[in-house]
Amino acid sequence: MEIAAVILILLLVIAGGLGALILLGGDAGPGALWAGRRMPRPAGRPRSRQVIDVPPEDAKPVGSRLESAGREETISRLDQLTAEVRATLASGDDRLILLNQQLEALQLGLQGRLEHIGRDANERWGELAARQEATSERLRADLMARLTDAERARSDLTRQLGERERQAAASQLTGERVAVTAELYALLARLEGAFAAVTNPILLPGEPYAPPAEFLPESLVWENWKEVGERTFAFADLYSARRLYLNEATRDEVGAFVVELRGLLTASIYPSLRPNAGPAQRETLRQALETLALRFAAVRLALEGDFRAIAEPNERPPATGIGNDGTA
């Protein structure tokens, strides 16, 4: 802006000087002509003195002197303005150089600042990214741990539910086995009591069955054995329907007893039931009843052991120790 103002002033000064020269040249024209000629004498005046003409070459007109003075002043002014302009331009060049230096310094400073800001931003971004990565890793690890805990808890819960279901099923099965064993034991006791009532009524309930030394006449009457048949069928029917709940040894023991009971009733006991039965028939009846007495004891011990094994699983069930022949 200062250089433009100086150039504008310089142009204005040059234009003013040229205008002044033009004006001075126009005004000095007539005077110059008048100064180089002899002035005419007015008519009627007498010549009083001799006039010596001065040639124009020996004396300069006033206009020329003014023109020269104005030109010199203008040239001096122009030289002064030129010097000022050059000084101003030189000063402007110095200022431009200083300004360029300041701009370069500012640019370098700004570039350094930007680089510092960039490095700082990169460092901060790296730190932020590292913190975010660490946070994400912690969250991921925490989530995985929680998922693992949840999966473990679900597995434990599933196992517990399965265990409870198995325990419930086992408890239900145990209850069924206990009920079947107890019911078979009760029917066996009633069957044994029916044999005692018809052949040896002196025995009390709960006493082991044993045939009498002599049979009463009532013991040989067919109609008195009706309850024995009913008790026998009830015991065999329950065993046939619920034997699945018995353990293998007890199931085999009771099954063999049912088969043997049917054989003894149909082959030895029922054919001997006659009012006038002879000694041979009575002996056949006695042997069959003695065999049944032993079998009653064996089946009773088997059912008792099975019941205790089911109801009291931590206790070892006692062995019967009695075979089909009643020997230990």
Domain boundary pick from 93, 108, 138: 93
pLDDT score for 310 = 87
Per the domain annotation, does 72 fall within a domain?
yes
Per the domain annotation, does 5 fall within a domain?
yes
CA 135, 136, 140, 141 torsion: positive or negative? negative
Three-state secondary-structure class, residue 175: helix
SS3 percent helix, strand, coil of the chain, rounded to 5, is: 80, 0, 20
pLDDT score for 60 = 54
Per the domain annotation, does 167 fall within a domain?
no
Say which CATH number the domain at 266 has.
1.20.120
- Say if residue 186 is in the same domain as residue 289: yes
Token code pair at residue 196: 């005692």
Per the domain annotation, does 324 fall within a domain?
no
- Say if residue 88 is in the same domain as residue 180: no
Residues recorded for the chain: 328
- Say if residue 198 is in the same domain as residue 78: no
Per the domain annotation, does 319 fall within a domain?
no
For the entire predicted model, the pTM comes to 0.53
The residue whose two tokens read 């009012």 is: 275
| Structural domains counted in the chain | 2
Per the domain annotation, does 7 fall within a domain?
yes
Q: Which domain holds residue 201?
A: 174-311
By CB atoms closer than 10 A (0-12, 13-18, 19+), residue 195 is buried
pLDDT score for 217 = 92
Domain boundary pick from 51, 78, 93: 93
- Say if residue 69 is in the same domain as residue 185: no
* Interatomic CA distance for residues 284 and 281, integer angstroms: 5
CA 46, 51, 57, 59 torsion: positive or negative? negative
Token code pair at residue 87: 């000084």
Per the domain annotation, does 102 fall within a domain?
no
- Say if residue 74 is in the same domain as residue 187: no
- Say if residue 185 is in the same domain as residue 67: no
Token code pair at residue 235: 């015991």
Q: Split the chain (328 residues) into runs of 10 and give each run's mean pLDDT.
A: 69 70 52 46 53 51 67 79 73 73 80 83 86 88 91 90 86 90 97 96 93 93 95 97 94 97 95 90 95 96 93 58 43
Per the domain annotation, does 123 fall within a domain?
no
Q: Name, in order, each residue with C-beta under 8 angstroms of 169's C-beta and a sequence gap of 6 or more.
A: none
Number of CB atoms found within 10 A of residue 108's CB:
10
* Interatomic CA distance for residues 251 and 242, integer angstroms: 10
